[in-house]
Structure 1
Amino acid sequence: MGGDSPYEIHQTAYIKLILHALKHRTTAVNAVLLGRSSASGSSVEIFDSVPLFHSQIGLLPPLEIALIMIEEYYGERGLNIVGYFHANERWNDSELGGVAKNIGDHITRYFPQAALLLLDNKKLHALPQGKDRSPVLQLYSRDASKNWKVAGLDGSNHLSLKEPSANIVLSDYISSEKWKDIIDFDDHLDDISKDWLNPDLFK
């Protein structure tokens, strides 16, 4: 991971985010990113993601419950919450809303380099037609004034995929409707037998 791409996301984390959004196409969805920063603190590697909610995603109590459980599980494995993912309700909505910014702000209190990722529906829609190896996500980072801004416009702070073939694998999962199998925290709170860790998703 070079200095010009401080955020790198692993295929497993990436695909879970997109499948979650595809399962709930008519609602906003969100997720948290798990990873760690490099020893120098100059880069962040995202190893995993946990889909959170697809209904009433702005409600604080269920979010707090989810974050506590996630932090406890992944903290024992050496990973921290390093960012947040959001997919808007409307397909053509590419704006970062207040809920996403607020949750992103909360995460930066504990991890200052936190990334905020927004689903780019146009890139996702074009995925089967092209050979684009870049993520179908827009990266936002906080500037000196603590405002969330689109990152990478100056050639720095951009997001890259750990595995170059991740979009090919994602396309295969989409065509086989793998998104039907994804479980989020909403599902778990409704039925605790449903595992929010999605251990069988890629088997």
Structure 2
Amino acid sequence: MAICVFCASSQKIERKYLDLAADVGTELARRGHTLVSGGAVVSCMGAVTRAAREAGGRTVGVMPQALVDLEIADTDSDELIITGDMRERKGIMDARSDAFLVLPGGIGTLEELFEIWTSRTLGLHDKPLVILDPWGLYAPLRLLVDNMYEAGFTRPNVFDAISWTTTVEEAIDHLEKPARPLTPLADELGEAAAG
């Protein structure tokens, strides 16, 4: 499988997050998966790709030219794809991936998560989506989505479209399984119209 990992590029994070990213890269390679990432050499992005390669895995990086110009591109990637902008970058990462793993990260990671999560709940793809959150960084997000659901702002599929995990092994186990089937949007719209 080609597994896309969304994670931090921030330089000012605790060592445990870098170690987690490295553990993910090592385990993905050990299980024979290709890593698709944002293509940076810094922070968690750099840690996950270096560890994957050191363990014999294949890495694909996707990065906009503007970030390449900042000299943070992982030029050691087996394949480095240069894009015109961030939207093209995400489109290529999505198309090249069979599943998505979200590690702790910042607003860029959240933006990537929300786009994949939304498209999954709408039935636009059926690829597994997993959050790996050993220290509860995303706990407030989970509570927020629960509250949104209770207030009627999200569909029931929002919970079935994603898996929440706390260990590397558990996360990758979930990625290797077929994604849970979701109620088709047309069926939900039909029920709403009939009700």
Same topology, TM > 0.5: no
TM-score in terms of structure 2 length: 0.28
**Greater helix fraction, Structure 1 or Structure 2:** 2
TM-score in terms of structure 1 length: 0.28
Structure possessing the higher relative contact order (Cα contacts under 8 Å, 6 or more residues apart): 1
Structure with max Cα Rg: 2
